Every structure is written in C-alpha cells, then in structure tokens.
Chains A and B, each alone.
Chain A
Amino acid sequence: MLDNRLHSFVAGFVLLTGAAPLYAAPAASMLSDTCAGCHGTDGASHGPATPTIAGLSPDYFTESMQGFKSGERPGTVMGRIARGYTDEEIALMAGYFKDLPFVPARQKTDPAKVAQGEEVYSGNCNKCHDENGSLASDDAGILAGQWLPYLTYSMEDFTSGAREMPRKMKKKVDKLKASEIEATLQFFASQQ
C-alpha cells in the first residue's frame, strides 16, 4: 500500500515538475523494458553472470542505481548506463521491478560448500539477510538464488574496499576466511 502510494506520488511529481520543459518522463514499463537486453525479460536473468533485478526492494534498487550514477559503487557498464537517468526515472524503475517475481537461478553448486555456507550464514548474515537471503527488505539485495558469479564479484568488491560495506556487515565479514565467504555465496546461490 505504502509502496503504491509512493509510486503514485513519484509519478505525479514527475508530471508536475518535469525535468525540462520539452521532456516528459517515459512510462515505468518503457524505461524498465530497456534493461531486459542484459538483465532478462521482466528483470529475470538467464545468467551466467548478470544479476536478476526483479523483485528487488525499491530502497535497494534506488541505492544501487544512485551508487552507480555517482561512481560510489564500482561497476563495468552500469555507471555509464545509470548516468542516463534522472532520479525520478530511477524511482519509476524501482517501483516497476519491485512487483515482478524474482526467479531463482538454476546453477550448479557444491553441496559440501553449501552446507558449510549455511552455518556461516546462520551465525553471521541472517539478521539483515533474513530467510536465507530471499527477502527484499529495506536496503538488502536478494541473495538467495542470485547468479553465483555476480555474488562473487560483489564480495570481491566489498572485501577489496572498492564498494563500501555497511558497518554491521563489515564487522562480520572482516572475521571470515575467504573459504567461508565462498561457501556462504554457494549457500545463497543454491537456494531455489
């Protein structure tokens, strides 16, 4: 309900203020359908690496796009693409993708690592990434069933310092061995 109201408010805001006199923002579906080339139809990626963006929380989607746009979050093409959108357009896309179903990736994982990863997860990650990382809550991304190479790239960026970790996450991650991080990602990747 709240999300829908926010969505309408944002859409109204775009109509009322506009970005420029000659520029009306495209519809949310118009903006979002352009993402399918890389992220899959309706934001559900066929992989092997590009993440699924369907079902993400609007907070997380917006924070990601704004991070790419400002350069705060590292990326390959996403910075170049995110700079093509106004804040209003990003909000429209965030509202569009939140209602689309997250389709878990079908990929091979190592059962031994998955089992180890589940233990690491239970002791460290579950407070923010609840329900095995499947919830799209607040500023947390959906990790369960996400493509493994993408999860790996993300943790590489976090541990190298290229991407800033939330303080609580950093405290936990700093104590983990590389093998434990890898196992945890295998656990997330194995979720269906």
Chain B
Amino acid sequence: MKNLTRRNFIKMVGGTAAAVGTLGFPAIAAAAGKKQVVIVGGGVGGATAARYIRRADPSVEVTLIEPNQHYYTCFMSNEVLGGERSIDSLKFGYDGLLRHGVKVVHDTVTAIDAAGRKVTTRGGQSFGYDRAIVAPGISFRWDTIEGYDETVATQSMPHAWKAGAQTTLLRKQLEGMADGGTVLIAPPPNPFRCPPGPYERACQIAHYLQQHKPKSRILILDAKDAFSKQGLFTQAWDRYYKGMITWVKAADTGGGVVRVDAKAGTVSTDFETYKPAVANIIPAQKAGEIAHTAGLTDDSGWCPIEGRTFESTLQKGIHVIGDAAIQAPLPKSGYAANSEAKVVAAAVVDLVNDREPGAPSWVNTCYSIVAPDDGISVAMVYNLVDGKVAKVEGAGGLTPMDSSAADRSREVAYAHSWFNNITNDIFG
C-alpha cells in the first residue's frame, strides 16, 4: 500500500467490484474462455492460494472476496502482548495480490450455490466460478461459556484470538493493570487455531509483567488436560518466570471456565470463582461462518475434505483450506494454511485445465518465542497416503529439551525470519 493513496486504492478495488457487479463478469470471462476461481476469505490460506494460482497459470481469473481492507496476522501477535512488537507490524493489505492480477473485492460472502457454481455477497454482487476456494478461518462457539459473547469480548474480556482490535485491547488492559494482579488465561478445548498459542502467550505476558509488574501472576485455567509443546513450555516457565505462572488442567476444575460475569468482572469454573485484573477468555471454536451457511461443515463444526485436493466431501467444486478444514494431522496453523493453499492452488489449476492433480506435499513449522532470546519449534513434513494426509515417518518433531542456549537464540532469529518470509509469500 506504500505507493498507493487511499483514494486510488478504492478506485482500483471499487472499480473492479463495480465492473463485476454491473457487467456480470462471469459471462464476459466465459465468453473469453477464461477459467474463473473465486476465493472466499483473504487470510493466510485465501491470499496464498490467490497468488499461487496466478503464478501457476496467469490465464486463470482469480477473484478474492474479503470484507476487511487489512489483515492482521494472528501469528506473532503474542509479541505485541509482550511489548516486543507493534500491532502495525502485523498489518497487511492486498496491493501485493492486485499486482499479481488478482481481483480483490471487499465485501462479505453471504451464500455459495455449489450446484449453480455461484457466490453471492451482502453488497448484492454475484460471481460465477469453475472452482471455489473457501478459507474463512475460525468462528467462536459463544454458547460454550455462560455470560460470554461477542459484546463481552469486545468490551471487557478479549479473546485476542483474531488479531487486531482484540490484541490491542488486551495489551491496553495489561498496561493498565496494577502490580500484584492476576492475569487469567482460559485456553479452549481441542481442536482450535494455533495449539501452542495460549502457552506462548503466557510466556510473553509473563515477560512483560516481570519487567513492569513483577508481583503479578498468571493463572491458566485450561479446558484440556495436556497441550502442545507442554514439556518445553513448562521448562520455560520454570526457567524464566519461576513462580509466576500456574497452569490448572481441566480435570482439576471439572472442565475449565464455564461462566463469566462481565459486570462483576468474575470468571468461574464449576468449583470456584475468580476476580482477575485481566481476563483473556479464548472460547471453543468452529469453522468460519460462511462454511456453515454454505453447507460445508459436518457435526463437528469443521469442514470435511478430500486429502489430495482439499475439495469438500459435502459440496462439489468447493475446496476448503486453512483452520476451517478438518486437515489433521496438519495443525490449524499459519504455516499449514500457507502450505495447504499451495497444494490446492496447484490442484485447482490442474482441474480447471482438465488435468489430473499431481502428488501433494505439505510442511508445517510452528515457532513459539518463550523469552526474548529463547525460541522453540515443532516441525513436520506430510504426504498423501491412501488418499489421506499423513505424517512422513521419521520426520519432524520438537526442539530438544536439552538444546543449547545458542540454538534457542537461533530459533528466535529463525522465527522472525519465518514471519518476514511467510508474510511476503502471502501478501508480497
């Protein structure tokens, strides 16, 4: 967006949208024989898929529909909470995709007609497609914690599990709290976006508190009995934040947080009520809204997909990628969404050109920064076995518990490099 004024940007984007709306671009494009791909959602998965389709076959017309003008990456947002990074460093626009010839439409998709191969938006536009890619990320199960809803999240008890205003609110609350208070973190049950995230968050918040409010404490009331990179996180809590962080497993509270009272500022389990200085409630999750409306979800609330192409097993011609998909053993992570998007981009280009999609390959690497000079990671390579995503035997794994201080320091530098490289790969 650097060389683009706001007015020019709106002209470009709005102009595209207007032309599409009034002239009916599927009809025109069909006349020109161009294949149409519509992508719903401009996060990691959607934006990567858009770019990589254009890379593989510039003759394919790609329309990406995303309500927001900017995307804030959820990854590295814990560093904002720790005071190590600005919120603006997580902010990305869509000028990169425009340069790659992607049509970017800022609107909200309200319906996807799989039989008619057509996407409709709140703004009254409709887009025909040969293939659709749906990457709506997550939405929250507001009904799982009594008294907790979007208003409470926005006003007093942020989840900060979608980055942006929520991250800023939580950071402000941490800055505003008095020394000696308790920060309560309520991590969600599985499956959820960014499995190591709540525990890295505890590290980052503890790092901030240690410098500015050393008498303060962190209480983690988990909805689970175990968590990602548990040994490494526990080691870090002991090594850097001794006595500051208490983690309580679900079994000890009868299942974690069940109720909040926003007015009273209290958070309750079945056994006990707490009055923390700051409450970070991360609710249970499901696929983003449009996935439900479009009939892409099963009883789990997530989207079942076919392994090779991530095409929905419920709706033909629609591929679901990123956190919304049932992509296990791939995790719900930014790296995985980026990797899935490339596989799907290649498959979609093959399919619209009447070719059999080739063999896929995926990678995931998730870094967590547990202290300014200590990073840990989990990595894995995946391939397709009997039509399903599978971990490659013998590959992957965690940072060793006994890795050297030098290696931990390198992992921080590599984590920051990963952030720069993946965001350039998505939005650059």
Contacts and interface: CB of A to CB of B under 8 A. Distances in A.
A49 B414 contact: yes
B276 to A, nearest CB: 36
A29 to B, nearest CB: 8
Contact of B421 (A38, A83, A149): A38
Contacts of B396: 80-81, 83-84
Given A22-B386, A76-B410, A77-B379, A35 B417 contact: no
A80 B421 contact: no
A23 B385 contact: yes
Interface stretch (B17-25, B136-144, B295-303, B336-344): B336-344
B365 A41 contact: no
A33 B342 contact: yes
Contact of A81 (B379, B420, B428): B379
A112 B343 CA distance: 47
Contacts of B377: 76-77
Interface in B335-393: 335, 338-339, 342-343, 346, 358-363, 365, 377, 379-383, 385-386, 392
A153 B412 CA distance: 13
Given A37-B418, A46-B417, A153-B410, A81 B383 contact: no
A30 B360 contact: yes
Nearest to B407: A76
Contacts of B358: 24, 26-27, 30
Contacts of B422: 36-38
Interface string A27-60: 1011101111111110001111110000000000
Nearest to A160: B406
Given A41-B424, A76-B377, A81-B381, A48 B413 contact: yes
A35 B363 CA distance: 8
A89 B360 CA distance: 12
A173 to B, nearest CB: 19
B399 interface: yes
Interface residues of A, number: 36
A50 B362 contact: no
B359 A26 contact: yes
A138 interface: no
B383 A23 contact: yes
Contacts, number: 128
B416 interface: yes
A131 B403 CA distance: 37
A37 B365 contact: yes
B365 A77 contact: yes
B340 to A, nearest CB: 10
Contact of A37 (B335, B392, B399, B428): B335
A41 B417 CA distance: 12
A76 B411 contact: yes
B418 A50 contact: yes
Contacts of B407: 76
Nearest to A83: B395
A81 B414 CA distance: 14
Contacts of A89: 361
A117 to B, nearest CB: 21
B394 interface: yes
A164 interface: no
A36 B395 contact: no
Given A49-B416, A84-B396, A40 B424 contact: yes
B52 interface: yes
A36 B358 CA distance: 19
Contacts of B361: 26, 30-31, 34, 89
Contacts of B425: 36-37, 40-41
Contacts of A76: 377, 399, 403, 407, 410-411, 414
A109 to B, nearest CB: 17
B359 A30 contact: yes
Interface of A: 22-27, 29-31, 33-41, 45-50, 76-77, 80-81, 83-85, 89, 147, 149, 153, 156
18 contacts: A30-B358, A36-B338, A36-B425, A37-B339, A38-B421, A40-B425, A41-B425, A49-B416, A49-B417, A76-B407, A77-B379, A80-B396, A81-B363, A81-B379, A81-B381, A83-B381, A84-B363, A149-B413
